[in-house]
Chains A and B, each alone.
Chain A
């Protein structure tokens, strides 16, 4: 606790207007992501076609005029009216109790630990509780959001790791050795910057074969997105490495016989760390948004896997906005995550920036 109170960096971070709320939001999102199997009442592929486009379940406390402490929902069904609008009818004869820690489908937490209980749900299996409504084939939107977070929230980290690796590697070498190596590497880097990123993304995606499993598609998307971003990062690292290389302690290390590799890895790059952390945090949003852009053109994560990007792209039409707006909620989650990363990144920058006194 004392550490938190006295550390200068932490103070600066906390001083930033929105860093703390951002961190809280991220915390919640990642918590949900980690415990996805427990928090989601249903699987990501559990459709129920009679419940197509069902609106969020209405929670009741009164049944037949009697108050019930435990909330419940009624099963819904729909018919088409003369305008082919869906009219939903609640079956008021069958209240289904909504409870916490309810027994549901058996799933394996993280693929290893089998659990039967979920955070909330309906004990009575014959009907369903749709917290945020259902999609076209009756899949629970909330469950899909929860499982989708696993893809959308991790793509950023892995992508940024790849970018960082490339950036450090090429930027470090370029900045330290200088001269011809620097010139060639920088021109090579600039090549990547010459091509507009979206286009590069497409060209790369279409170059790959079709029979890819979801995991392979995921890795591919991450790889592509990071290939776009590394150039800018590498350039900055190179600039920093260039000036750091001129400092005394580096000359000293060299005089002592340390190899180039050692110097770069243990002396130069750590000096770039604060910039790197900030930069990486701030570029994670680009991965999340990039994934949704790829999904929009059909080159992203495939069904039935859920990602916020592919859920949003399936919802991009006027009829959905008018008649089942809950379908657009993944867009809001993307928005929240991206905003949160931006605030946290800013806070980190305020905290770690060596230029601020």
Chain B
């Protein structure tokens, strides 16, 4: 098992390399000029622009540029971000934690809600409860996340006379007076700002997971060993939770890794609307301003987060399911 994991980790290196190379090509081939804003500024002379160009080798062929980037990347120097006028590493580092926090919380809430709902739906298949649950969980999946976010933001504003609602911040990560708050005040403030984005993301991710856990539970419940357990007189709740659930969970764990990736992607637009400073909105902004080094750096980060997510999922799987171990 360990060997498999190590092999997987090693394989991901050339994969990342290939992906980074392809990405680099695309960015470079794209029409557009990373130094556009310098050229467009009436106060900057063209000599200045030329100097910047040669410093970052923008005037050399693509492969050479990639080589330079790779060499620096191996030294943990991901280059300089032109759109933010700061080193790429520092720009990403700030965002990484924020995205992580948002992703973890979303995953926790999604699981905490979706799995029980899935179990309920499976146990009471085709009942009205199942139908209603189906309907509501699909609801979340069917609205574009950014649209839902805007509507929620507006509703929070419209309901500002209701004390509960007026306490929920619209966007941002911390309040303007964050510094003045007590230690606990700061924690409460951060949590309050997380409410809106986590709700929107959870609603979006809920349905998929609920549906799959429902499906898996149904499958498990049909199996022989369940009938046997019931025949043996085991109480129903032990049958469901002690046996069926444990097996139904397995496929869900493998999804864990993909959740990271999809949270990174799906969250980009949402992050912009609720002003959550995460990796998603950073990548979007970077691609739009064709900030080559920032794009490369964030893409690398995204890829690494996905690999980490997959590996964690595999480890969890090994812990949860002894069958996987013996291979």
Contacts and interface: CB of A to CB of B under 8 A. Distances in A.
Nearest to A183: B11
A101 to B, nearest CB: 34
B131 interface: yes
B247 to A, nearest CB: 14
B287 A202 contact: yes
Interface stretch (B29-37, B77-85, B173-181, B195-203): B29-37
> Quick one: which of A322, A339, A357 has the most chain B CB within 10 A?
A339
Nearest to B133: A17
> Quick one: which of A190, A193, A195 has the most chain B CB within 10 A?
A195
B144 A190 contact: no
Interface in A163-212: 187, 190-191, 193-199, 202-204, 206-210
A12 to B, nearest CB: 11
B183 to A, nearest CB: 35
B287 A206 contact: yes
B26 A321 contact: no
Given A194-B303, A195-B19, A316-B150, A297 B284 contact: yes
Nearest 9 CB-CB pairings of A with B: A198-B265, A338-B142, A17-B131, A196-B265, A196-B264, A202-B287, A339-B142, A194-B303, A207-B30
B287 A199 contact: yes
Contacts of B265: 196-199
A203 B23 contact: yes
Given A206-B287, A316-B146, A331-B144, A195 B131 contact: no
B100 to A, nearest CB: 14
Interface residues of A, number: 48
23 contacts: A15-B126, A18-B134, A187-B15, A190-B15, A194-B19, A194-B307, A196-B302, A196-B306, A199-B299, A203-B26, A203-B30, A204-B26, A206-B30, A207-B27, A232-B258, A285-B142, A296-B146, A317-B150, A318-B154, A342-B207, A346-B134, A356-B218, A357-B222
A312 interface: yes
Interface in B259-293: 261-262, 264-266, 268-269, 280, 283-284, 287-288, 290
B19 A17 contact: no
Contacts of A199: 264-265, 268, 283-284, 287, 298-299, 302
A315 B306 CA distance: 34
Contact of A296 (B154, B269, B288, B290): B269
A220 interface: no
A190 B310 CA distance: 12
A276 interface: no
Nearest to B295: A203
Contacts of A292: 144, 147
A324 to B, nearest CB: 14
B252 interface: no
Given A187-B11, A197-B262, A297-B288, A342 B138 contact: yes
Nearest to A195: B19
A321 B149 CA distance: 13
A296 B139 CA distance: 21
B193 interface: no
A198 B269 CA distance: 9
B284 A202 contact: yes
A210 B134 contact: no
B143 interface: yes
Contacts of B144: 289, 292-293, 312, 331, 334
B293 to A, nearest CB: 14
Nearest to B14: A187
Interface residues of B, number: 59
B130 A195 contact: no
B267 to A, nearest CB: 9
B147 A18 contact: no
A312 B147 CA distance: 8
Interface string B1-42: 000000000011011101100110011011110000000000
Nearest to B139: A339
Interface in A278-326: 285, 289, 292-293, 296-297, 312, 316-318, 321-322
B229 to A, nearest CB: 19
A355 interface: yes
B141 interface: yes
A129 interface: no
A191 B262 CA distance: 15
Nearest to B287: A202
Nearest to A321: B154
A209 B29 CA distance: 10
Contacts of B32: 206
A286 to B, nearest CB: 10
A338 B82 CA distance: 39
A321 B158 CA distance: 11
Nearest to B305: A196
A193 B283 CA distance: 17
Contacts of B126: 15, 17
B23 A195 contact: yes
A202 B269 CA distance: 12
Contacts of A335: 142-143
Interface string B292-322: 0001001100110011000000000000000
A209 B141 contact: no
A338 B208 CA distance: 13
Given A18-B131, A195-B299, A198-B268, 11 more contacts: A17-B134, A187-B15, A191-B22, A195-B303, A202-B284, A203-B27, A206-B26, A206-B32, A297-B269, A318-B154, A339-B142
Contacts of B18: 191
Contacts of B22: 191
B196 to A, nearest CB: 15
